[in-house]
Amino acid sequence: MTDAAGRPLLLRNGRLLDVAAGTYAEEDLLAVDGRIAERGPGVAAPADAEVRDLRGGFVLPGLIDAHVHVTAITADLGSLGTMSPFYVGAHTARIMGEMLDRGFTTVRDVAGADFGIAAAQAEGVIRGPRVFFGGRALSQTGGHGDDRGPGTDELPAWSQSRIADGVDGVRTAARHELRTGAHHIKVMASGGVASPTDRVDSVQYSMAELRAVVDEAQAANRYVCAHAYTARAVNRALEAGVRSIEHGNLMDASSVSLFLEREAFLVPTLVTYWALKTEGREFGLPEGSWRKVDDVLNTGLSALEMAYRGGVRLAYGTDLLGGMHRHQNEEFRIRAQVQPPIDVIRAATSTAAELLCADGQLGTLAAGAHADLIVLDGDPLADIGLLADPAAHMPLVVQAGTVARQR
């Protein structure tokens, strides 16, 4: 951290990516008070500005990861409740700082992060991405967010999820999260990998319960995102009015038309399966969970391809846990197997911003937007691998008009 807050930052001679058009403009960019104040050729430097010459560096909007768990300091999620919250918070701060260093200036946390973490980041106490939080996810008893093994009835002291059953129960739970300022409500609408007692192909919550959660979120002008794997689970959630589907690895063509009809988003998280398969056990994933990874590993890429060809709005997500967070940028390389680089970049910028209801504010280099940006030493439209290796190819990260990392 080198710049005093509030000092204007003028970046000269960058190639600024217009994410919508997929083209670059060779211009200067001036950030004042955290926002992009002006851009164009030969922008005049305010007297107190810090001026940097980017020498033709490639400038992209700051990256947005729309599916993270910043409090997932271990892959053994059930053990989080036995840890000191101070210890979890300390590691969360580290994880968030490392995300910022990888170019992620904004994240959407979909279970775990709360108003306290978001406030600490906003106040500058924690160095990290801006956090759009949902608080604790809603899970039915025995659902994906139920951390208990089959031999115990006792709930842990803390969990990334809140167990709620029945229409009244889920309404109350959603209201609790909304009263803390949650940007969205996360529901577990199918089984998952990192849960001890459910099957990946199970569907969770009744339609009445799902509709009640959507109803509560919409009443507060918020939206619902749902963890769902199979077509059955995805389609039920979409029919209930859920706005974003997380994972979706086992969806089919019937889901694609529903996504379009409902103008919903899909947030694939392919890198996490690859990481869980190769390193999961080393970082605490229990054996039973590790065996479930194969069910979803190979289908994820074809689901992404089907959704992409069908025109579904796609946002970038990673869902990494514990020591596997360091693979956050590998998702760029994985998606580029089935999508052109510009579309993968849109997923991590403009489309993610739309999902966050922050289009025009985030995920763009337009004047007026938050001055969040990254600089690459080559053209990611020609080589997406540059984004996958930020330590080597991302010399500068700027957040709110302040240099957050430089090489």
Distance CA 288, CA 303 (A): 25
Q: Which stretch binds Zn ion (CB under 5 A): 73-81, 280-288, 311-319, 393-401?
A: 311-319
> Shortest Cβ contact with Zn ion: which residue?
319
Q: Which stretch binds Zn ion (CB under 5 A): 21-29, 218-226, 313-321, 376-384?
A: 313-321
Q: How far is the CB of 67 from Zn ion (least distance, A)?
A: 6
Q: 387: closest CA among 343, 357, 352?
A: 343
Per the annotation, the verdict on 295 as an active-site residue is no
Per the annotation, the verdict on 292 as an active-site residue is no
Which tokens is 257 given? 């038309």
Which tokens is 352 given? 């993610």
How many other CB atoms sit within 10 Å of the CB of residue 30?
A: 24
Q: 400: closest CA among 130, 95, 132, 131?
A: 130
CB nearer to Zn ion: pick between 65 and 319: 319
Which tokens is 153 given? 């009835």
CB nearer to Zn ion: pick between 319 and 330: 319
Q: How far is the CB of 194 from Zn ion (least distance, A)?
A: 8
Q: Are 323 and 67 in contact (CB under 8 A)?
A: no
What DSSP designation does 134 have? Answer: -
Sign for the pseudo-dihedral over CA of 145, 151, 154, 156: negative
Q: How far is the CB of 193 from Zn ion (least distance, A)?
A: 9
Restricting to residues 315-344, which ones interact with Zn ion according to CB under 5 A? 319
The answer to whether 109 contacts Zn ion (rule: CB under 5 A) is no
Q: Which stretch binds Zn ion (CB under 5 A): 15-23, 44-52, 274-282, 314-322?
A: 314-322
Q: Under 8 Å CB-to-CB from 392, ≥6 apart: which residues?
A: none
CB nearer to Zn ion: pick between 295 and 319: 319
Strands (E), 54-168: 58-61, 63-68, 104-109, 130-133, 137-139, 161-163
Q: How far is the CB of 69 from Zn ion (least distance, A)?
A: 6
Determine phi and psi for 78, rounding to 5 degrees.
-65, -25
CB nearer to Zn ion: pick between 108 and 211: 108
CB nearer to Zn ion: pick between 76 and 319: 319
Active-site position among 28, 76, 109, 186: 186
Q: How far is the CB of 108 from Zn ion (least distance, A)?
A: 11
Please tell me the count of residues contacting Zn ion according to CB under 5 A: 1
Restricting to residues 246-285, which ones interact with Zn ion according to CB under 5 A? none
Q: Are 36 and 10 in contact (CB under 8 A)?
A: no
Q: How far is the CB of 45 from Zn ion (least distance, A)?
A: 44
Which tokens is 372 given? 């969040």
Active-site position among 146, 147, 198, 319: 319
Residues lying near Zn ion in the complex (CB under 5 A): 319
Active site positions, annotated: 186, 319
